[in-house]
Chain A
Amino acid sequence: KNEVEQSPQNLTAQEGEFITINCSYSVGISALHWLQQHPGGGIVSLFMLSSGKKKHGRLIATINIQEKHSSLHITASHPRDSAVYICAVRYWDTGNQFYFGTGTSLTVIP
């Protein structure tokens, strides 16, 4: 059941660059959750979506249900965006349970 794939695993960018992190899954879902984890830190919710697109500040999340794929975009990246970004999905037949990708480690260089 747990087939949540994230790419890339690691990403290094220059400050100001546009960043895209991808998440794909294998079967139908009721929701997809993007999370952020700073080094040694807790896990913070960024977006939860089931269709379309959501935007918060410089972060944009999109999901394509037909292609079973979601992207997290960061515009005008900044060193404080350096963190691990985690994708998690909830399937229709598993209640509240989430299944997690292994995360994308982002480093933004000044």
Chain B
Amino acid sequence: NAGVTQTPKFQVLKTGQSMTLQCAQDMNHEYMSWYRQDPGMGLRLIHYSVGAGITDQGEVPNGYNVSRSTTEDFPLRLLSAAPSQTSVYFCASSYSGQGPSYEQYFGPGTRLTVT
């Protein structure tokens, strides 16, 4: 059971380049999400999905796209990278539902630098 995996671990992009951050989970979780983590700020939600074919925007969606064609995979696309997107990106997943049984599991993170 690999849990939540993310690739790559590190990436350097030039301004204007595009790329896809990969996220996969093998726990059959319905809910998946992408966060960015910046110094001095809490984790901020970029996009999330409640199941295959269903995605929605979070707090900071501009400049990012997502899709969810399978339960397992939830890639995050940067359309035209900007220095403001330099951050650490975390993917997370959980079962859908309220209450204390539905904890989130996080991937190891992707450290992205845009020059």
Contact = CB atoms under 8 A, between A and B. Distances in A.
Contacts of A101: 42
A45 B106 CA distance: 8
B31 A45 contact: no
A102 B40 CA distance: 6
B53 interface: no
A30 B94 CA distance: 15
A86 B43 contact: yes
A49 interface: yes
Contact size range, B: 20 to 34
Given A31-B99, A102-B40, A96 B109 contact: no
A48 B100 contact: yes
B43 A100 contact: yes
A76 B101 CA distance: 28
A42 interface: yes
A44 B94 CA distance: 13
B43 A45 contact: no
A36 to B, nearest CB: 11
A37 to B, nearest CB: 9
Interface in A43-59: 43-45, 48-50
A86 B42 contact: yes
The 8 closest A-B pairs by CB, nearest first: A100-B42, A30-B98, A43-B106, A48-B103, A100-B43, A96-B31, A42-B108, A50-B100
